[in-house]
């Protein structure tokens, strides 16, 4: 069974929502990212979303864009990220989802990407610049390997597209809570609960919410209605700030992730 499915099955049996931190692979460096993933699991993370740095990210706000720029200026490549995951698999079985631009996948070729991702121990991928209509035979190829292509739904997704996404969704559905880019926000959208409940009425696939979740109160509110809360910019920011002041980015990330995970898990 895919690690993502196993995690959500366990959480559903326990009556809890997943906490899913997003990390930029290689920020501040590859060794630190590996240590942060392991520390995140110990702090209460259930799944990790791992960003493959790319020069023109889609929908990412300034915090994550800046982290990508820092990593790319150091010369990191996609193969380095695969090797990072391989090193994590020596001590952790936490589900890992790659967030990767289709440009990188296209350059490798989907079959080669799929092969390399599975070899490394990656369980699924979100490809934000690849619409579900364009995935074609990618879904069957991924299913043959037990690899999940995570689909996005937004507040603006039409009923027709939402129905299509629900039919092919595996692992979990990534619900983008706001119109716009990633980043910390003061409050969550007023229609979030209604939109999540509507989406969940269409599918048994877990629904996790991302974009704009930046405080324990946000995580708790999301976890009351969704199956998971995804947090990125707030974590990436704290990792960078700790590195800049000469602190320990692993400790900073683990402390923040622990607080957010406890809030999410205590919501029900």
Q: What is the pLDDT of residue 46?
A: 98
Share of the chain above pLDDT 90, in %: 82
Q: What percent of the chain has pLDDT over 70?
A: 93
For the chain, the average pLDDT equals: 92
For the segment 100-158, what is each residue's pLDDT rounded down to a tens digit? Answer: 999 999 999 999 999 999 999 999 999 999 989 999 889 999 999 999 999 999 999 99
Give the pLDDT score at 66.
93
State yes or no: is 60 an active-site residue: yes
Q: Which of 193-206 are b and which e, b meaning 16 or more Cβ less than 10 Å from the residue's Cβ?
A: eebbeebbebbebb
pLDDT in tens, 204-219: 999 999 988 889 998 9
Which of 49, 123, 184, 197 is the catalytic position?
49
Q: Which two tokens stand for residue 30?
A: 């590859």
The Cα 21–Cα 185 span in angstroms is 16
Band (182; pLDDT cuts 50, 70, 90): very low
The pLDDT of residue 180: 44
- The tokens for 249 are 């980015």
pLDDT digits (tens, 9 = 90+) for 63-76: 999 999 999 999 99
CATH homologous superfamily of 3-265 equals Aldolase class I (3.20.20.70)
pLDDT in the model for residue 183: 41
Catalytic residue among 5, 60, 123, 227: 60
Contact between 115 and 107 under an 8 Å Cβ cutoff? The reply is no
Q: Is the pLDDT of residue 179 over 70?
A: no
What token pair was written down for 60? 């990412």
- 211/156 Cα distance (integer angstroms): 14
Residue found under tokens 């269409």: 202
Res. 185 pLDDT band, cuts 50 70 90: very low
- 127 Cβ partners below 8 Å, 6+ apart? 100, 101, 102, 105, 149
What pLDDT, in 10s, does the model give residues 24-61?
999 999 999 999 999 999 999 999 999 999 987 665 67
* pLDDT at position 189: 64
> Taking the domains of the chain in order of start, what are their residue ranges?
3-265
Burial class (CB in 10 A: 0-12, 13-18, 19+), 1: exposed
49 among known catalytic residues? yes
């Amino acid at each position: 069974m895919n690690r993502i499915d196993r995690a959500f099955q366990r959480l559903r049996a326990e009556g809890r929502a997943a906490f899913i931190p997003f990390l930029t692979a290689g920020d501040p460096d590859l060794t630190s990212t590996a240590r942060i993933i392991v520390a995140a699991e110990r702090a209460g993370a259930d799944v990790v979303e791992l960003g493959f740095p790319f020069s023109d990210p889609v929908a990412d706000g300034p915090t994550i864009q800046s982290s990508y720029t820092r990593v790319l200026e150091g010369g990191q490549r996609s193969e380095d990220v695969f090797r990072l995951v391989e090193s994590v698999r020596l001590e952790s079985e936490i589900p890992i989802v790659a967030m990767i631009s289709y440009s990188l996948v296209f350059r490798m070729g989907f079959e080669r990407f799929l092969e390399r991702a599975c070899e490394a121990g990656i369980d699924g991928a979100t490809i934000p610049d690849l619409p579900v209509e364009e995935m074609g035979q990618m879904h069957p190829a991924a299913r043959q390997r037990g690899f999940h292509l995570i689909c996005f739904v937004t507040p603006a997704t039409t009923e027709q597209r939402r129905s299509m996404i629900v039919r092919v969704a595996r692992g979990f559905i990534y619900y983008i809570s706001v119109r716009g880019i990633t980043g910390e926000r003061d409050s969550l959208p007023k229609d979030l609960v209604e939109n999540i409940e509507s989406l969940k009425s269409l599918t048994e696939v877990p629904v996790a919410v991302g974009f704009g979740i930046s405080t324990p109160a946000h995580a708790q509110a999301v976890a009351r209605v969704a199956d998971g809360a995804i947090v990125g910019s707030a974590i990436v920011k704290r990792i960078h700030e700790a590195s800049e002041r000469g602190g320990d980015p692993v400790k900073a990330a683990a402390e923040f992730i622990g607080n957010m995970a406890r809030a999410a898990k205590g919501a029900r």
